Amino acid sequence: MKSILIIGAGVIGLSIAHELSKTKKFKIVVIERSNSFGSGNTLKNSQVIHSGVYYKKNSLKNNLCLKGKKLIYEFCKKYKIKYLKTGKLFLACSKKEESYLKILKKNALKNGVKDVRIINQKELYKMEPFLNGNKALLSPSAGIFDVKAFVKKLFEISKRNKVNFNFKVKNLDIKKINSKFQIYLSKKKLFDYVINCAGMNAIDIARRNFPNYRFPKNKYVRGVYFKTKENLKLKKIVYRAMVPGHIKERIDITPLLDGGYILGPSVEKNHFNNKKKLKYKFINGIKNHLMSINEKKILYYKEGIRPKIMFNKVNLNEDFYIKKVKNNNWINLFGIESPGLTSALSIAKYVKRMI
Ligand SMILES: Cc1cc2nc3c(=O)[nH]c(=O)nc-3n(C[C@H](O)[C@H](O)[C@H](O)COP(=O)(O)OP(=O)(O)OC[C@H]3O[C@@H](n4cnc5c(N)ncnc54)[C@H](O)[C@@H]3O)c2cc1C
């Protein structure tokens, strides 16, 4: 029986533990530095099941998002996890944005998202009477789900399948002994495989263990959310129209399962300290395409950090990085930004095939 060490109990570590433990072929240990699972970016996002409209064709993001979307909906149905297939609108408010819709649609069809269609103002008004816009691209397969319940279920099933979880593991010290990896967890343990899915720390952990190997660099980008409990009477997730590959900052509106909406995430390059100023950026980003909004009800909510990666000083690496270290049974997962949540269950299957 192969022994596997998984570093990090975020949605990715939990999905991998869940997938591998179903086969009963592996002895699995998960280590997590905080005192519970899902304490990283896992719960600091929009909780959107993305449909896969704007990723690059044949990228891991494209393939794994499409497969993951299907798997998440099935999982939610099977385990009675709350979800809503709301659909998503890419809203065009100008002639320029209207031209983006055709590009988006073409990209979606190329990517295998076959159910998208452009809707005119009349249909848009019928669908969402409280939204202002000229046209939109409708992507019906996007949705929202209860991520907290989802990760809890992954944890419970993995535990039932005898995965050994260790929380509060602060000083991660891994030694390579021949082809195996050793850590100390109350006693010395040897592993055939290491799966490094420690989110924001994954690259540092890989570097410490393989100092001569070329890994990408971290480029963290903060994303802040505001929230309103006001009933904006929108049923769908609303994004502004965009051109794939040239995605600019925009303020998305996402319904919450228990009422209200989350606004954002924004893109903050530096640490922000003026929440009032930031709030106006949010209001300006959405007020023109809503019939009305009560600004007083918009409150700061939360923030996540996109673990973007770069191989050079200029360009961001736009795709997930899921690779084995050459000649080592060590798999790294870097740059698992959006749609990482949507893709979690298919990422786990992808990793399983690498073992
Ligand atoms: C602003 C924002 C919005 C997003 N919106 C969406 C969305 O709507 N839909 C979607 O599909 N995706 C979305 N994403 C992406 C999604 O949140 C991530 O892809 C996902 O959370 C990645 O999970 P993870 O397990 O890799 O990382 P994390 O959740 O960060 O988990 C990593 C874990 O590793 C642990 N760890 C770190 N260092 C160590 C160590 N040394 N030893 C042990 N454990 C360690 C951490 O404590 C943490 O628990 C969004 C991301 C951001 C930032």
Q: Which atom of ligand 1 is nearest to the CA of 223?
A: 1
Q: Is 163 in the pocket of ligand 1 (CB under 6 A)?
A: no
Q: Which atom of ligand 1 is nearest to the CA of 204?
A: 41
CB 52 within 8 A of CB 156: no
Neighbours of 266 (CB within 10 A): 20
Nearest CA to ligand 1 atom 21: 42
Q: Which atom of ligand 1 is nearest to the CA of 46?
A: 8
CB 50 within 8 A of CB 63: no
CB 292 within 8 A of CB 174: no
Element (H, E) at 119: strand 117-119
Nearest CA to ligand 1 atom 15: 338
Q: Which atom of ligand 1 is nearest to the CA of 341?
A: 11
How many angstroms does the Cα of residue 302 sit away from the middle of ligand 1? 14
Provide the total of helices (H) and of strands (E) in the chain, helices listed first: 8, 21
Give the 3-state secondary structure percentages of the chain, helix then strand then coil, rounded to 5.
30, 30, 40
Q: Is 8 in the pocket of ligand 1 (CB under 6 A)?
A: yes
Nearest CA to ligand 1 atom 4: 45
Q: What is the pLDDT of residue 272?
A: 65
Q: What is the pLDDT of residue 324?
A: 97
CB 337 within 8 A of CB 321: no
How many angstroms does the Cα of residue 169 sit away from the middle of ligand 1? 18
Q: What are phi and psi of 47, to 5 degrees?
A: 60, 30
Alpha-carbon torsion angle 102, 315, 12, 25, nearest 10? 110
Instruction: Give tens-digit pLDDT for 2-55.
Output: 999 999 999 999 999 999 999 989 999 999 999 999 999 999 999 999 999 999
State how far the Cα of 209 lies from the Cα of 194, in Å rounded to an integer.
Answer: 11
Q: What is the pLDDT of residue 250?
A: 84
Instruction: Give tens-digit pLDDT for 188-201.
Output: 999 999 999 999 99
Burial annotation 67-78 (CB, 10 A radius, 16+ → b, else e): bbbebbbebbee
Residues in the chain, pLDDT under 70? 271-273
Element (H, E) at 102: helix 95-110
State how far the Cα of 295 lies from the Cα of 283, in Å rounded to an integer.
Answer: 7
| Domain architecture of the chain: domains with CATH | 2-45+148-217+314-354 (3.50.50.60), 87-143+218-310 (3.30.9.10)
Rg of the chain's alpha carbons, rounded to an integer? Answer: 21
Q: Is 346 in the pocket of ligand 1 (CB under 6 A)?
A: no
Residue closest to 106 by CA, chosen among 69, 63, 58, 53:
53
Mutate to test the pocket of ligand 1, among 41, 165, 253, 309 (most ligand atoms within 8 A of CB): 41
The number of C-alpha atoms within 13 Å of 227 and in the hemisphere containing its C-beta is: 13
Q: Is 41 in the pocket of ligand 1 (CB under 6 A)?
A: yes
